[in-house]
Structure 1
């Protein structure tokens, strides 16, 4: 019976009822100290589900001894449903088989987050089959890192699957999950009194037991069961420690061989009875010696397993033994262990001094975990190996490996701490250079690209040739994206890499020399992500979109979740320039969610800043401020350009000109966004009545446009010339070039300016044509301030502006609904869409169900006629 938990039981029962009746999903983390009743609530949740006819319950318990065994928790959770793996999409099935150490698992699916997606799909499939699915995870603070990441990835994507995931964890550990938490408080006096009364504790003794237990349910139960004795510890100790002491006192009263069996079970940790019994022979003990512990209610023995009734009993059994006994037990288990991971864990626990043999075994275990994408686990094993490594250089190398794996697991701060520990131990220059590259990556992720550049340049001088080239290229790229022009030039002086030289020419405004190099590199086969960056520098929007779309598709097909945020960010830039604002919103929303899921929370500000230009075009100053509030470099470059564009849109020409002057003279003047701002600078100067201030900006942009040969850029350069010369021919040239260009917003701006020029020339009839076209585009882009100007100009020609066009039905969709709808319109099945977007099929159907009324349709068949391809 549960006491004092009506509120908690009601909340959990509601989640289960909604999962059953409305196919909703939820995840909840129960948080509280040891003995507070978390496990009892999980048991109650299972009983509630089964009483309602539910059958699908998956359970796992975090085991401290297995916290460094990659996917140990996932194996435990999914053991009884492994036969369902064959029904999963291929990439998910492969990832899960790899995680579960299936001998037949392919070796080319190495993204750890795909295992989490596979868990989500599996849970959703179970829920689809006869009712809701319940996933219960106890002692989550002891889950291995790989399992924790997989389960949290699944939990954050629950929507409409009929799945409930309940986690239970102590007050410390399993933090930063992003899940809603339900803290469990200690029992009040009335509930504690009821509990003791039901256990026939004499009334005279209850007050003391309640006072000593402080309302902790386990303490109440144990102190009452011990005849109202209190443990042999002083009052100031935390209640959990006092309960542990009480268990230790009870264990001390048992026969010596029973105590030995409990120590072996505690050291073994997994509850594997055959291993326990084999080790027990070394100490003259056997299964009969566990009987006294069973009768005392300390352990349960069933089948081939032994389980402590509470983790604090295990702690008491282990801590109650002296060090020599613990070492002897660990060594005995290591000697009889068949599994290499089990063997090395116990050898390490028995090692009191550095031991290279044990350290090497730990390193081998770390590599096994790495090969199964258990990066957090692998890092922990490398750290343990480093602690037992006698040689300073080898210890540093293992610390560096741990740091690299920690970074891959998404923990930037811990990676920096580990690399800082390794740094002073290294004497080999090449090894220090490799570690320096990791330091630089950490600094870049923290949002300090200048520090990253400095580190890469310093360490590249001591690196091996191949490493040196790659490090200088990375340094140049960091310097370029953050607007650090002097560093680009310094790096170019030390590198013969074509990419670096191309960037250096750009910095010197030698566009006719730099852009051909970039174009040549783009034409060569190579890394599609790098190719997309090259196309971005060239201003080739369609190439950027095609490259990122193909790469995103590859990442989705192979489940390469961690690689997607950067790809989607670049894709969003191209989508914005192409006028696909809703698609850009969807790309950024997905990138932000994935960055957070993969532990790269710091990227969120940079990713969101990509939408700053959309907010500027729409004239939404509050949103622009919100999007750029926490944008580190290079996101700040997008933010500066966007703020200047908003000033221009709102008629704040002097403010725009000051901001644009700062960009032109600032460190980011050579970036593609800043170059486009040069065109804005021309318009701002002309409208502010200072055309002479615009001429340098015009020359700079025109030189870049000619070298890039992009039609949109040549059109904008012609528009700038028209503004400065007040002549029609450049406007006509710009209009012609825009017909072959890819940037609708820039085309509409040219049409607006041309219309204004024609009206001033008293050619009102001619002016209406470009103004109508501009209005149509501005309406589609929701470019409110620009639309107001265009309508005012059209009215000035004597024509009333047409009624605003009805908003696009797509504008009513959420970013994720838009992604789902676009894929469904192409004929992609719900299961395929789910695999691509890292959702469950049921969630895909839910999004379609929500989208159809917004689009005014009722079935998939109508989607293909409603939507044009993105």
Structure 2
């Protein structure tokens, strides 16, 4: 056995490593328990590899191996036992322990026994005795057995370790290694059926033991199991029982339950292993089973589905019934069921036009279900059947968005553009394709695509929507949709969203929220963008439509980070990672590591390096995210040269941003890295060129956020006294602290550091204290550490201490006394009584004292006097 790559078994591998390492000094024993195909054999192989890496000998342990390995050197008692001759237990145990001692004399050993449930009670009894009495032997005994409980004969001395199903992400990764499995079955369907069982994920062929177990059942029971297998999980056991003419008291199910093949609970049948279902399906003709179910079920959708699967050729009545009931499949189960029902309805359609339309609707359902590969396959079937602009346009909406999910932005744009140029009669089909093109352009950042969007929009005639188009994008949402498309084309001229969806409900409200949240992101309204997209994210989860918002998830997470909702961003990243793995959504698989890297860099505490995401290929959006994460990590670690390399690479050789929306939002970091670089003069010159270009592209009225970022970057690059004007411009609007707390706090910190260099320490203090408060609240550890290090009055800042002491000494004796009493926690009224003043006079003095000492409240005043001004008080 050799080591093997395991999917989703990090915990199990760590436990096996600890188990093997413990056996280097004492005997260890354990049995892995679990269903067939759950991965026990793979774990045994991994354990063997771990043991060999640590110098262990590895020996597969069964009767055949024991006979073959050095049989002449075996103790006579063991040879007799192997031949099946009567052997005394004490004599056999002594011989086995002696053999084990000899085996481990020069190196520890790992003894492995797979399928211990087939080994027989004699061997299991011997292994139990050895585990019970071994004490100094350096050996590990590792077994694997089917089932939830150890096989008879295996004692309690051997530890139990239950191997469970793979988590969703790991199951999806394993499925990626078997692309042939998803050629005919959608990923989500296959993952749901497999239930995390690796064998069921990698093969559709049931083990022979399941076939034998089914063959041993009575004919009536086999018939019921086949009906249950083809019916699916949603069909009640009563319906299946009627279709199979089973006894009313369900006694015909008892043999299958006794054999451990199925269980019945809550009125439904559950197969104990996914491949038992596959084996049961093959025990009889499927069409006959579906026909029987169709005649017995009371549910319109199931009746139509089974009738379609029972039919052998085109039948419009069957196809129409299935199309009419398909939507209920999406509401009650998952959207993938709706897509499959519509696909089946198309396949049963006698008329080509009806087939194309149903395939187009299936394409939309598959996209919404988060199955881009399936959606593209269905789109291909539409293209092969029709050139009708409306039907093709509907399919291309879903196919274009599926291509966006796969990070194939140029293809998505071209497909949607062509759909608009075909001039569908349904104006909403055209409008939605323009929106698809805009979505692709946002992520690609392609300037030519963005510039063409207004022309495409001009080709759309409002008020011409039909049933198909209105079902995708209601015409009531057109004003918001047009505004979103124009914002993608020209963010500088975009009009901020204004709540155009008020009074709307259902799809119209969702469509308006989607459009307005995109405009909010493009115009730097991070709070509104995060709120709108997060609300849609919850709706998407409630309706189990994971594909509906997948293209906006990176924008949502960016907005959450920008407006300080870091915990929400963490949760969204974790949930989206599962969504990305299950659907194999390339866009998310590429962008989520960069988003996670940004948060890790912001929270960097110096104890461990930030793990940078791998470099994606051919995707400016994900690459810009990765570069930003890498640059921020380098800044947090104090490596300005590497930071500058990463932030500079977010712009091309001419200074144009690689991605037009992400590059400009990193200007202060670019400027900061340039100022600290060992190539400072050249780096700052390049950074100035880039900042000037971004300022020109932002226009005469940049967004408040961009105005702040441009001013902050300019201040960091200005080596004259004019830097202060830029800093003040960056901090002019107090509301920016609510919308972009981190970015404003960074400007406050850097302004404080600049003031400190100018020896204006009291003025620096309130800016740096405010920045520290924000960094601490957000959890930006590296930023907070920097603020503490340079904060005037810090133990490491003698200049700050001297400046603060001087400012305090310059106060009048009365103001010094008021400051001390306020720092001790006394109220204005209490101070007034102590000093025989009016409370108003005390308040007036404190109003003068705070800015002179660079503080904003009593808490800061107390910290200041306890640290920086103590000397002044003592000298006084």
Provide the TM-score with structure 2 as the length reference.
0.53
Show CA shifts across 1:303-337 (max 9, x none). xx99999999999999787x8xx878876776677
Correspondence list, 1:655-734, <5 A: 655=645, 658-662=648-652, 665-666=655-656, 668-671=658-661, 673-685=662-674, 688-690=680-682, 691-703=684-696, 710-722=703-715, 723-724=717-718, 726-728=720-722, 729-731=724-726, 733-734=728-729
User: Which residue of structure 1 aligns with residue 592 of structure 2?
Assistant: 607
The 5 A counterparts of 1:106-121 are none
Map of 1:639 onto structure 2: 626
Q: Deviations over 1:259-284 (max 9, x none)?
A: 7997699568779789988998xxxx
Give RMSD over aligned pairs.
Answer: 5.7
- Equivalent pair of 1:333/1:346 in contact (CA under 8 Å): yes
After TM superposition, the structure 1 = structure 2 runs for residues 398-417 of structure 1, keeping only pairs within 5 Å, are: 398-417=358-377
What do the CA deviations read for 1:632-673 (whole angstroms, capped 9, x no partner)?
6533332233434445553217535642543874564421x3
Q: Give the Å deviation of 1:475.
A: 0.8
Unpaired stretches in structure 2, ≥5 consecutive residues: 1-11, 13-32, 39-114, 119-143, 152-184, 459-481, 503-508, 804-876
Shift of residue 741, structure 1, vs aligned partner: 1.9
Cα gap change, 1:486/1:332 in structure 2, threshold over 3 Å: closer, same or farther? closer
Return closer, same or farther for 1:684/1:386 CA change in 2, 3 Å cut-off: same
- Deviation per CA, 1:726-764, whole angstroms, max 9, x where unpaired? 124414623651544223433343344434444444545
**Residue 627 to residue 439, structure 1, CA distance change in 2 (3 Å):** same
1:798 and 2:799 aligned = yes
Deviations 1:464-523 (A, max 9, x none): 3221122112212321222212211123333234433333334xxxx3xx2xx3326677
User: What does residue range 196-345 of structure 1 map to in structure 2 within 5 Å?
Assistant: 239-240=208-209, 243=212, 340=300, 343-344=303-304
Kindly provide the CA deviation profile for residues 322-360 of structure 1, in whole angstroms up to 9, marking residues without a partner as x: x8xx87887677667765556545644553333333333
Q: 1:518 aligns with which of 490, 495, 498?
A: 495
2:346 is equivalent to residue 386 of structure 1: yes
Contact 1:367/1:378, CA 8 A, preserved across alignment: yes
Cα distance in 2, alignment partners of residues 721 and 420 from structure 1: 52
Corresponding residue for residue 745 of structure 1? 742
SS for the counterpart of 1:460 is helix
**Change in 2 beyond 3 A, CA 1:737/1:443:** same
Distance 1:734 1:436 in 2: 47
Shift in CA distance, 678/175, structure 1 to aligned 2, threshold 3 Å: farther
CA pair 577-272 structure 1, distance change in 2 beyond 3 A: closer
d(CA) in 2 for partners of 1:390, 1:240: 43
2:434 — aligned with what?
A: 472
C-alpha deviation, 1:393, in angstroms = 3.4
1:429 is the counterpart of 2:416: no
Tell me the distance in 2 between the aligned counterparts of 1:175 and 1:708: 60
CA shift in 2, pair 1:698/1:786, >3 Å = farther
Give the SS at the match of 1:171.
helix
| Kept after mapping to 2: 8 A contact 1:719/1:730 | no
**Deviation of residue 361 (structure 1)?**
3.6
Q: Distance in 2 between matches of 1:306 and 1:615?
A: 46
Q: 1:30 aligns with which of 16, 30, 35?
A: 35
Cα 1:523/1:710, change in 2 over 3 Å:
farther
Shift of 1:369: 1.8
Q: Measure how far apart 1:689 and its partner are.
A: 1.3
Aligned residue for 1:440, secondary structure, equals helix
Q: Does the CA-based 8 Å contact 1:628-1:636 persist in structure 2?
A: no
Note the alpha carbon deviations across 1:174-194, whole angstroms, 9 max, x for none: 999xxxxxxxxxxxxxxxxxx
Is the contact made by 2:319 and 2:345 (CA closer than 8 Å) also made in structure 1? yes
1:541 aligns with one of 526, 541, 545: 526
Quote the residue 1:754 is aligned against: 751
Q: Give 3-state SS (helix, strand or coil) of 2:800's partner.
A: coil
Query: Aligned partners of 1:782 and 1:796: how far apart in 2?
Result: 22
- Whether the aligned pair in 1 keeps the contact of 2:301 and 2:328 (CA below 8 Å) is no
Shift of 1:409: 3.0
**2:612 matched residue in structure 1:** 626
Give the conservation status (yes or no) of the 8 Å contact 1:610–1:635: no
Establish whether residue 485 from structure 1 lines up as the match of residue 447 from structure 2.
yes
Distance 1:447 1:317, change over 3 A: closer
Can you list the C-alpha shifts for 1:811-865, whole angstroms capped at 9, x where unaligned? xxxxxxxxxxxxxxxxxxxxxxxxxxxxxxxxxxxxxxxxxxxxxxxxxxxxxxx
For 2:537 and 2:207, how far apart are their aligned partners in 1? 52
Q: Name structure 1 gaps, 5 residues minimum.
A: 1-10, 12-27, 46-142, 153-166, 177-235, 252-258, 803-870
SS at match of 2:344: helix
Q: CA deviation at 1:445?
A: 1.2
* 1:440 corresponding residue in structure 2: 400
Structure 2 CA distance, aligned partners of 1:538 and 1:484?
18
Partners of 2:747 and 2:692 lie apart in 1 by 18
Q: Give the SS at the match of 2:35.
A: strand
The equivalent of 1:573 in structure 2 is: 558
Count residues in correspondence: 578
- Deviation at 1:150? 8.8
Going from structure 1 to structure 2, the CA distance change for 1:703 and 1:308 (only over 3 Å counts) comes to closer
How many Å apart are 1:411 and its aligned residue? 2.9
Q: Deviations over 1:183-235 (max 9, x none)?
A: xxxxxxxxxxxxxxxxxxxxxxxxxxxxxxxxxxxxxxxxxxxxxxxxxxxxx
